[in-house]
Amino acid sequence: MILFDYMQKYDYEQLVLCQDKNSGLKAIIAIHDTTLGPALGGTRMWTYDSEEEAIVDALRLARGMTYKNAAAGLDLGGGKTVIIGDPKKDKSEEMFRAFGRFIQGLNGRYITAEDVGTTVEDMDLIHRETLYVTGISPAFGSSGNPSPVTAYGVYRGMKAAAKEAFGDDSLKGKIVAVQGVGNVAYHLCKHLHEEGAKLIVTDINQENMNRAIHDFGAEAVNPDKIYEVDCDIFAPCALGAIINDETIGLLKCKVVAGAANNQLKEERHGDILDQKGIVYAPDYVINSGGVINVADELLGYNRERAMKKVEGIYDKILKVFEIAKRDGIPSCKAADRMAEERIESVRRSRSMFLHDQRSLLNSR
Ligand SMILES: NC(=O)c1ccc[n+]([C@@H]2O[C@H](COP(=O)([O-])OP(=O)(O)OC[C@H]3O[C@@H](n4cnc5c(N)ncnc54)[C@H](O)[C@@H]3O)[C@@H](O)[C@H]2O)c1
Ligand SMILES: CC(C)C[C@H](N)C(=O)O
């Protein structure tokens, strides 16, 4: 892989490799775009097959955060970290503290939070070394685990997508097929169950699946069968790239709306969903509740204010559909347009001269 070519292609600002022999830390911080503000994005801990795979993941996820934060209306750019390692075996206090010091060294250009494989406890360790971390414990007056809030945002966005597909946003009696019932989807299922939706779930983790069956009377299917079940709404809440050439022809749903990042394997799969008449709620818009919540910490966390913004995901999703209709494009492209237009307009408005510390006027 030719790194600078790839970075130029998608206009990345910075890629940082962090190594600490003492703790075994191997982290990659990718900063995509800071036009709107400091890059905020979570830290993923995962056992990658190769260093290249880890770097590509960090870069891809960082760019996704630029779009997510822009679409969410936050004054934040996009970045992400991946730590190479097994979250079940390789974590230690010294590893997260070393990582915290690397973040501090970036002097606020990057702010972290939770992602797959990291927890509130890990963020608290990072916090011992840097202020540039969010999603830390409520004991510090912070927002804690973002997953329940992400779930609420997905629920709101799913209702908006239902309105678009069925003319009514009620989920009562709707059959929702949920792929992966982990941290986010458990709470999503709770909202859906309370509204009277019928749940079909799958997970490779039997314990998580049993919890959904027991708590919400969900029906269970094998992981490879979830795409083809008869349902109104398919909610991908596990992995990325699950809308692909193999799965897209199997879908019987009218709506795809779920928490997973990077659901479309390639952009063209968004076009195909559109051609098939399936309403797609773009992943980074519908799952932005977590980042909206942690970002509120930067203002001095206020749960009520954060939840109000998360509720607004309903209108954001409707706005995406409106742009899609206005411009005759699929919803995934409409979401990109909405995010890109915001970044560009802020870039333009910031071109006005402001006297800062490095201004020539300082020598007067
Ligand atoms: N946690 C958040 O606040 C947040 C915010 C935005 C986006 N997301 C995204 O949402 C998704 C879920 O996040 P989470 O925090 O709930 O993660 P999680 O690890 O708690 O849950 C994922 C679940 O999916 C299951 N799973 C994995 N592979 C599967 C497969 N092949 N088939 C069926 N199930 C499978 C896992 O066993 C697990 O139960 C991820 O893609 C994440 O990036 C999460
Ligand atoms: C900042 C985090 C809460 C972000 C979350 N992991 C996401 O992908 O949106």
CATH number of the domain to which 91 belongs = 3.40.50.10860
Clarify whether residues 267 and 152 are in a common domain: yes
Clarify whether residues 59 and 183 are in a common domain: no
Residues 6+ apart with CB under 8 A from 212: 178, 181, 185, 186, 189, 199, 201, 203, 218, 220
| pLDDT tens-digit series, residues 202-234 | 999 999 999 999 999 999 999 999 999 999 999
Q: Is 139 annotated for ligand binding?
A: no
Residue 357 lies in a domain: no
Ligand 1 atom nearest to 181, measured from its CA: 39
Clarify whether residues 255 and 307 are in a common domain: yes
Residue 194 lies in a domain: yes
Q: Give pLDDT, residue 126.
A: 98
Clarify whether residues 269 and 172 are in a common domain: yes
Q: Give pLDDT, residue 363.
A: 64
Residues 6+ apart with CB under 8 A from 257: 154, 157, 158, 161, 233, 234, 235, 279, 280, 281, 286
* 0.85 surpassed by complex ipTM: yes
- For 200-250, the DSSP string reads EEE-S-HHHHHHHHHHH--EE--GGGGGGS--SEEEE-S-SS-BSTTTTTT
Q: Which numbered ligand comes closest to the C-alpha of 241?
A: 1
Q: Between the CA atoms of 248, 251, 256 and 262, what dihedral angle is there, to the nearest 10 degrees? A: -30
β-partners of residue 220 are 201
pTM of this prediction?
0.96
Q: Does residue 362 surpass a pLDDT of 80?
A: no
Mean of per-residue pLDDT scores for the chain: 96
Residue 101 lies in a domain: yes
Among residues 140, 164, 187, the one where a domain terminates is 140
Q: Which numbered ligand comes closest to the C-alpha of 148?
A: 1
Catalytic residue of the set 80, 91, 159, 174: 80
Clarify whether residues 184 and 281 are in a common domain: yes
Counted domains in the chain: 2
Q: Whose CA is nearest to atom 38 of ligand 1?
A: 182
| pLDDT tens-digit series, residues 271-298 | 999 999 999 999 999 999 999 999 999 9
Residue 159 annotated to the active site? no
Q: Does residue 175 surpass a pLDDT of 90?
A: yes
Clarify whether residues 156 and 214 are in a common domain: yes
Q: Pairing relation of β-strands 39-40 and 25-33?
A: unpaired
Compute the average pLDDT of residues 21-28: 98
What domain range is 116 assigned to?
3-64+77-140
